[in-house]
Amino acid sequence: MKPLRIALTKGRLEKDTVALFEKIGFDCTALKNKGRKLILPVGGHQFEVVLAKAADVITYVEHGVCDLGIVGKDTILEMGNSFYEVLDLGFGKCKFALAGPKGTDFFGGYSAKTIASKYPNVARNFFESKGMDVRIIKIEGSVELAPLLGLSDAIVDIVETGSTLKENGLEVIETICDVSARLIVNAASLKLRKAEIEDLAEKMDRAKEGKL
């Protein structure tokens, strides 16, 4: 049988995942010295890691070319899901927030509001939950620019320290939800390879809690 294949978000989540795997005792030499390779063996070929952008991690898991994925909750909330979310890995912590120019009474008045965001679905769902009808503009780059240029009244974005907001004269108006890295599993893989997947997820959970 082929080794389990895990799609892993490149960058910071990749580094935190390597640290977690090493806590479990998996050999991550190939992953740490990857060069330009994108599919790498971990733990003496116990499983393979596929390095990908966050949105592609979900695509690979949904289509079954990867059995599992490690991706931020932000991407899951934006893209929806047809997979199982089995574990909060506890790293990559940040939050979704509504932010705008300091001193703005965002919820006051009756004028229609315009929101800029890299996450239009998250923004739409948030305002629908409040019964507010807003215009949403998708921004790919620095979303903080939108209110500074007069393109939007506020933004919905990921906030870690809040320093970028502060430096640009913005502040958090309301926290929407907390975000962290999650372990996701393809639905068919969970049926066909249940024991292997549950064993790996349990080891990851115990390592996360420092119980190994």
Confidence tier at 43 by pLDDT (50, 70, 90): confident
CATH architecture of the domain formed by 94-179: 3-Layer(aba) Sandwich (3.40)
Kindly indicate the confidence band of residue 195, based on its pLDDT and cuts at 50, 70 and 90.
very high
pTM: 0.91
Which residues of the chain form CATH 3.40.190.10?
A: 4-92+180-208, 94-179
Q: Is 212's pLDDT higher than 70?
A: no
Match 């089995």 to its residue by tokens. Answer: 86
Please name the helix (run of DSSP H) or strand (run of DSSP E) that holds residue 52, with its range, or none.
strand 47-52
CA dist., res. 69 & res. 85, Å (int): 9
Torsion, CA 85, CA 91, CA 96, CA 97, rounded to 10: 160
Please provide the DSSP assignment of 153-176 as one string. SEEEEEESSSHHHHHTTEEEEEEE
Alpha carbon distance 63, 168 (integer Å) = 41
Q: Alpha-carbon distance 31 to 53, whole Å? A: 16
Among the listed residues 56, 54, 41, the one whose alpha carbon sits nearest the alpha carbon of residue 5: 41
Angle at CA 132, nearest 5°, toward 117 and 122?
35
Give the CATH architecture of domain 4-92+180-208: 3-Layer(aba) Sandwich (3.40)
User: How high does pLDDT run on average in the chain?
Assistant: 94
pLDDT tens readout for residues 2-29: 899 999 999 999 999 999 999 999 999 9
Q: In whole angstroms, give the CA distance from residue 117 to residue 101.
A: 15
What is the percent of the chain where pLDDT is above 70?
99
The pair of three-digit structure tokens given for residue 177, joined into one six-digit string: 């939800």
> Cβ–Cβ contacts within 10 Å for residue 173, how many?
17
CB 97 within 8 A of CB 163: no
Residues 137-192 have pLDDT tens digits of: 999 999 999 999 999 999 999 999 999 999 999 999 999 999 999 999 999 999 99
Pairwise pLDDT comparison (12 vs 211), residue with the higher score: 12
Cβ atoms 13, 91 nearer than 8 A: yes
